[in-house]
Amino acid sequence: MGILASVSTTKFLLACPFLLVLVLTACGEGKPDPDLVAAAKCHLPLAQKLKVSSEQGVNESNIEVRDLGNGRREVTGDVSVYPGGSTGRFVCVVTPDASDRLRGLRVERLDFQ
């Protein structure tokens, strides 16, 4: 399960950011937290970049989101693929995109080290 902690740049641990965004939206919280939406937007592209198989899972932790202005956000954190996969640090930058009807964002940059 994820633990949510707020610090100056909004640090939080998430097991599945996409699920968290769905829960917050379904609970009638209005518009979801843009930092959570940015983290969720990075989840699937990161899994695809790491070539996660259907038998594996992805765990993201130590997530930090930084507001870059004009709706852009930089998401950084640790990632591990289990069982037997890669571990490392990732950086994902998202930017507003009106053509994305689910989150209104697109991934501008995604790096894994």
What are phi and psi for residue 74, nearest 5 degrees?
-110, 125
Q: With a cut of 90, say whether residue 4 has pLDDT above it.
A: no
What are phi and psi for residue 38, nearest 5 degrees?
-60, -45
The matching CATH number, chosen from 3.10.590, 3.40.50, 3.30.70, 3.10.450, for 11-112 is 3.10.450
Output the pLDDT for position 28. 54
> pTM surpassing 0.85?
no
Would you list the domain boundaries of the chain? 11-112
Output the pLDDT for position 3. 33
Which segments of 1-113 are extended strands (E)? 11-14, 57-69, 72-82, 87-96, 105-112
How many angstroms separate the CA atoms of 108 and 94, rounded? 5
DSSP-derived 3-state class of residue 42: helix
